[in-house]
Structure 1
Amino acid sequence: MPGGVRRHAVRVPNGLELLSVTGARILIIDGLDECSNSHDQKRILSLLAQIVQKFSLPIQILVCSRPEPRIKECFTGSSFQNICQWMALDETYQASNDIRLFLVDGLKKILKHHSCSMEHVPCPWPTLEQIEYLVQKSSGQFIYASTVLKYIN
């Protein structure tokens, strides 16, 4: 394997038999566009398509990447037509509702975990206005909301 692919590859010990445990699993491939060679990107996606089509595995695969031409070409090809759902995360994707739910859930967990030290905090905490402020500051980016929750916690 070329160096660019090897550097980004993850090896599963003992092969695919580990996936036979009950319960759904997810494999996240982030930064496929970071492979130094576009042919390596295509090769990785081709292998994933073959595995999904050949084996009935209790696994979902999430590929996160910038939409480079070779990557888009793979996903629009026949190998992925019946096994893939494409979701563009550009300006057409409105993440605000998802971020709002993420923040509300995370802040509830923080309040529950730190209930003794937060007895003096007025209820409701946080207010709807505060949540909306954080949603707006997030600008559709989960990393902002995640960082806020880590900081508050």
Structure 2
Amino acid sequence: MAAPPAIGEYWPGEGGVYAGIMPDYIGRNPQHVIFSIDEAVGVTWGAYGVSERGATSDHDGAANTRALVASRYAHPAAEWADHYEKDRKTDFHLPSRQEWDVAVATIREQFAANAWYWSSTERSDTMAWGHNFNGFDFEYLHKTFPGRARAVRTLPA
């Protein structure tokens, strides 16, 4: 693996913009976080009224996304991220809450200022976590809200 570029720069061959390192949370290995340059617009989280028990991790967006894609219910944001491909990389997923925390802290300017972006982390049977860049302090919305999705991939740091 080549050395990462500066934060906020496209990482050639790795499929996206380098957001930095997600720290070691509770014994988990630090990860380089790479966000897609493309995004889905007008996608819902999906499965309103259903609890997806495998999609509650605050730090493991890949595991959350696997659970959502394997569900018998539709999860448009997770499905879009799971199918995303760039630079011949296919291991993308919908970001977890903590993967979003890295992007918010380091590459905020890479996202639409007035948009809601979904995370893969479920809050309840009717709501899921995400992030907005419009200055309001919303951390979660109803799963039926038409928001945006970005795909992310991680590499060991």
TM-score scaled to structure 2, two decimals? 0.23
Higher strand share: 2
Higher helix share: 1
TM-score scaled to structure 1, two decimals? 0.24
